[in-house]
């Protein structure tokens, strides 16, 4: 009954997983492109194609490290005339060997004259000029042979490999290559990339004012996006413009692109619409390796290869037309291929893949895993990822400021807040993820040697304290008074006397104030002060912890017992600082507010057991 159906139906391509697709692309990249020699100032960001070796020792001559006086070490200290008033300055003509019983001025970097074996810095001398203008230098200290002299090869030995093949040439490496006297270096050739947009509906961004909405015209944002994505990898892309959905025109553009480029990237024209010609054309011109990828967004992503001149076939990425799909599939498929072609070793990961905790619930797709755009940040020692919002593939705002892609598995339902998923960290985001930043310039320069905590433990099973116990309650930071935990705590403490209660804001008050507060309360005969603080490992929080700790005689066993209770409540408990100790005859314990209801009964018991002990210690 059915005759010729005019509209395209389902895709004839079988749907591959993302891993299969990435593996397929990787298998088609034979290795880096050929090498080429470029001028040093063009090498920034490129990948070095052979080891950089020191052909000469650095320094090549014994050089002074200081502005001072070259002399014989056996002569120091003493008074000596100079043998050459002009001295030996860096870059000036050599002035021959140092005369016996003389001394000579020398500047930093200048070759130490023959005869001299030490340099005394100018600060360790006096210049004595008598009435007749006769100059003598008084050397005030002794000086060992070789002092303040860089021996030949002491920075870099001749033949030493300074940079390894396949290293990325950053600014530091440019400096190193220059120091080795290399005005040009051998690097891998950059792939030539051509970018094409396809679609009758497209208008160049420069003509955005002329958009005809009734025809469904939209601005072509994929081309600027893809060109910029390539440029972030160090590759200047060839912008081939946009082509309407016209088979001959599209064919001609693709032929031209393959003539000029190693890698051709198109967007649009890969779905199953009546005007989607990309897959058809690529099947004709080369081999389509996949045409459906099991992911969201980016399902119709297409990868093909076309014969080139050498063994390395030309790569074609047919990315979907929605800009978000375009962004995500470029990152997943095209970027790794470009990085390998430009010299990055196969075993170097393109994107770090880390565990991240969802800051909000995320709906799953029952059919395809989703690469959810998000902003990852550090929080108390773990990575927390916040969605960029509504993830529809046409909503380009979802890629703004994203620094990771969350791998959301396919499934029914919603992943709750706090679920740990894998995140691919994107290196070129506008904000890259950094561990617990403290900022620069920071406070004082400090170093703290790692110190094991004392190993003593205290058992908690002790007779109950006669009530009422006098308790102080201090909550730091967040408004803990709204918490269920806080009201649970008050229930636990219902038969105790709350002597003092205060909210303390970290921003408002100094650490000094905090220490004072605890001291005051402890003098007011509180037996127990609970400091409820949802703190992390950051620097500000550390200052608070330090302030609480100040003046305490620490009770690590108590802290240990609290921490173990916390561990039973949360696997992240180890990241929450716990402080426990005594001040006068008060037990002060700082712990997260959510743990307090579970720990407090035990702490109350401890107070009784500790009471005698504490008084003895005073």
Residues between 123 and 182 with contacts to a second copy, criterion CB under 8 A: 123, 126-131, 133, 135, 150, 154-156, 160, 162-163, 167-179, 181-182
Q: Which residues contact 468 (CB under 8 A, 6 or more apart)?
A: 495, 496, 497
**Stretch 23-82 residues interacting with a second copy (CB under 8 A):** 23, 26, 40-41, 44, 58-61, 63, 65, 67
- Binder among 73, 351, 488, 524 for a second copy (CB under 8 A): 351
Q: By CB under 8 A, how many residues form the interface with a second copy?
A: 186
Instruction: For residue 242, give both structure tokens.
Output: 């946009």
Q: How far apart are the first and last CA of the chain?
A: 101
Residue 546 contacts a second copy per CB under 8 A: no
Which of 165, 381, 554, 602 lies at the binding interface for a second copy (CB under 8 A)?
381
Do 534 and 596 contact (CB within 8 A), yes or no? no
Calculate the CA 287 to chain-centre distance: 39
Q: Is 416 in the site for a second copy (CB under 8 A)?
A: yes
Q: Contact 504/579 with Cβ under 8 angstroms?
A: no
- Considering only residues 572 to 611 of the shown chain, the ones binding a second copy according to CB under 8 A are 572, 574
Q: Considering only 72-80, 346-354, 479-487, 600-608, which stretch makes contact with a second copy by CB under 8 A?
A: 346-354
384-403 positions binding a second copy, by CB under 8 A: 390, 392, 394-397, 399-402
Check binding of 366 to a second copy (CB under 8 A). Answer: no
**Smaller CB separation from a second copy, 15 or 498:** 15
* C-alpha torsion sign, points 405, 406, 407, 412: negative
Beta carbon nearer to a second copy, 469 or 578: 578
Q: Applying CB under 8 A, which of residues 14, 100, 248, 274 lies at the interface with a second copy?
A: 274
Least distance (Å) between residue 519 CB and a second copy: 27
DSSP 75-126: G-SEEE-BS-TT-B-TTSPP--SPPTT-BEEE-TTPBPPTT--EEEEGGGEE
Q: Which two tokens stand for residue 266?
A: 């198109």
- 107 or 481: whose CB is closer to a second copy? 107
Q: State in angstroms the smallest separation of the CB of 495 from a second copy.
A: 26
557 binds a second copy (CB under 8 A): no
DSSP 579: E
Nearer to a second copy, 71 or 169 (CB): 169
Residue 303 CB, shortest distance to a second copy, in Å, is: 14
| Shortest distance in whole angstroms from residue 381 CB to a second copy | 7
508 binds a second copy (CB under 8 A): no
Residues 212-251 close enough to bind a second copy by CB under 8 A = 213-225, 227-229, 231-232, 244-245
Q: Which is nearer to a second copy, 30 or 397 (CB)?
A: 397
Q: Measured between alpha carbons, how far is residue 280 from residues 6, 250, 254, 456 in Å?
A: 16, 11, 12, 74
Q: Which of 273, 253, 275 shows the shortest CA–CA distance to 264?
A: 253
d(CA 192, CA 454): 62
Nearer to a second copy, 220 or 262 (CB): 220
Site string for a second copy, 104-123 (x = CB under 8 A): -x-xxxxx----------xx
Residue with smaller CB distance to a second copy, 371 or 521: 371
- Least distance (Å) between residue 439 CB and a second copy: 4
Judged by beta carbon, residue 19 or residue 508, the one nearer a second copy is: 19
Supply the minimum distance, in Å, between the C-beta of residue 266 and a second copy.
Answer: 15
Residues 181-200 that bind a second copy (CB under 8 A): 181-183, 199-200
Does 567 interact with a second copy (rule: CB under 8 A)?
Answer: yes
376 exposure class (CB count in 10 Å sphere: 0-12, 13-18, 19+): buried
Specify whether the CB–CB gap between 274 and 8 falls below 8 A.
Answer: yes
Any residues with CB less than 8 A from the CB of 450 and at least 6 apart, and which?
none
Measured in whole angstroms, how far is the alpha carbon of residue 273 from the centre of its chain? Answer: 42
- CA-CA distance, 119 to 68, in Å (whole number)? 6
Cis peptide preceding 135, ω within 30 of 0: no
Neighbouring residues of 1: CB distance < 8 A, sequence distance ≥ 6 = none
For residue 97, the minimal CB distance to a second copy (Å) is 12
* Between 289 and 584, CB nearer to a second copy: 289
381, 360, 370, 347: which is closest to 423 by C-alpha? 370
Place of tokens 């290196």: 427
- Please, what is the minimum distance in Å from the beta carbon of residue 499 to a second copy? 31
């Amino acid at each position: 009954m059915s005759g010729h159906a005019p509209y395209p139906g389902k895709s004839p391509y079988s749907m591959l997983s993302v891993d299969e697709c990435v593996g397929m692309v990787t298998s088609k990249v034979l290795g880096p492109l050929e090498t080429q020699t470029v001028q040093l100032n063009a090498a920034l960001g490129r990948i070095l194609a052979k080891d950089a070796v020191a052909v000469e020792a650095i320094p090549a001559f014994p050089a002074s490290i200081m502005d001072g006086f070259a002399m014989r070490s056996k002569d120091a200290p003493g008074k000596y005339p100079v043998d050459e008033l002009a001295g030996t300055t860096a870059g000036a003509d050599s002035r021959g060997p140092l005369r016996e019983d003389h001394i000579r001025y020398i500047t930093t970097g200048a070759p130490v004259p023959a005869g001299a074996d030490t340099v005394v810095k100018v600060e360790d001398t006096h210049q004595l000029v008598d009435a007749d203008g006769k100059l003598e230098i008084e050397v005030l200290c002794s000086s060992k042979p070789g002092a303040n002299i860089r021996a030949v090869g002491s920075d870099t030995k001749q033949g030493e490999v300074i940079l390894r093949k396949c290293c990325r040439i950053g600014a530091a490496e440019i400096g190193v290559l220059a120091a080795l006297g290399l005005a040009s270096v051998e690097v891998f050739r950059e792939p030539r990339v051509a970018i094409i947009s396809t679609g009758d509906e497209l208008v160049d961004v420069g003509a955005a004012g002329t958009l005809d909405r009734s025809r469904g015209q939209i601005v072509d944002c994929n081309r600027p996006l893809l060109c910029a994505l390539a440029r972030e990898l160090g590759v200047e892309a060839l912008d081939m413009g946009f082509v309407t959905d016209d088979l001959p025109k599209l064919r001609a553009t693709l032929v031209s692109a393959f003539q000029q480029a190693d890698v051709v990237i198109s967007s649009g024209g890969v779905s199953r619409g009546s005007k989607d010609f990309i897959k058809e054309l690529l099947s004709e011109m080369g081999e389509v390796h996949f045409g459906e990828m099991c992911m969201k967004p980016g399902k119709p992503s297409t990868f093909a290869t076309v014969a080139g001149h050498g063994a390395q076939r030309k790569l074609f990425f047919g990315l979907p037309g929605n800009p978000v799909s375009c962004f995500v599939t470029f990152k997943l498929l095209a970027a790794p291929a470009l990085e390998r072609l430009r010299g990055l070793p196969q075993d170097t990961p393109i994107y770090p893949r880390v565990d991240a905790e969802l800051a909000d619930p995320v709906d799953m797709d029952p059919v395809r895993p989703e690469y959810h755009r998000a902003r990852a940040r550090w929080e108390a020692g773990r990575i927390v990822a916040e969605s960029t919002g509504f993830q529809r593939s046409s909503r380009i705002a979802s890629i703004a400021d994203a620094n990771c892609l969350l791998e959301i598995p396919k499934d029914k339902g919603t992943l709750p807040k706090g679920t740990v998923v894998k995140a691919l960290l994107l290196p070129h985001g506008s904000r890259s993820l950094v561990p617990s930043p403290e900022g620069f310039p920071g406070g004082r320069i400090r170093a703290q040697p790692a110190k094991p905590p004392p190993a003593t433990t205290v058992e908690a099973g002790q007779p109950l304290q006669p009530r009422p116990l006098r308790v102080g309650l201090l909550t730091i930071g967040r408004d803990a008074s709204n918490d269920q935990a806080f009201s649970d705590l008050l229930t636990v403490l219902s038969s105790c006397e709350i002597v003092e209660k205060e909210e303390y804001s970290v921003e408002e008050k100094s650490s000094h104030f905090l220490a004072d507060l605890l001291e005051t309360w402890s003098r007011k005969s509180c037996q127990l002060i609970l400091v409820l603080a949802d703190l992390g490992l950051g620097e500000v929080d550390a200052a608070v912890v330090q302030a609480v700790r100040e003046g305490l005689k620490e009770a690590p066993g108590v802290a240990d017992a609290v921490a173990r209770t916390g561990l039973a409540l949360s696997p992240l408990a180890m990241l929450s600082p716990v402080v426990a100790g005594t001040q006068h005859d008060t037990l002060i314990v700082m712990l997260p507010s959510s743990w307090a209801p579970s720990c407090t009964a035990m702490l109350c018991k401890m107070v009784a057991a500790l009471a005698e002990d504490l008084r003895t210690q005073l």
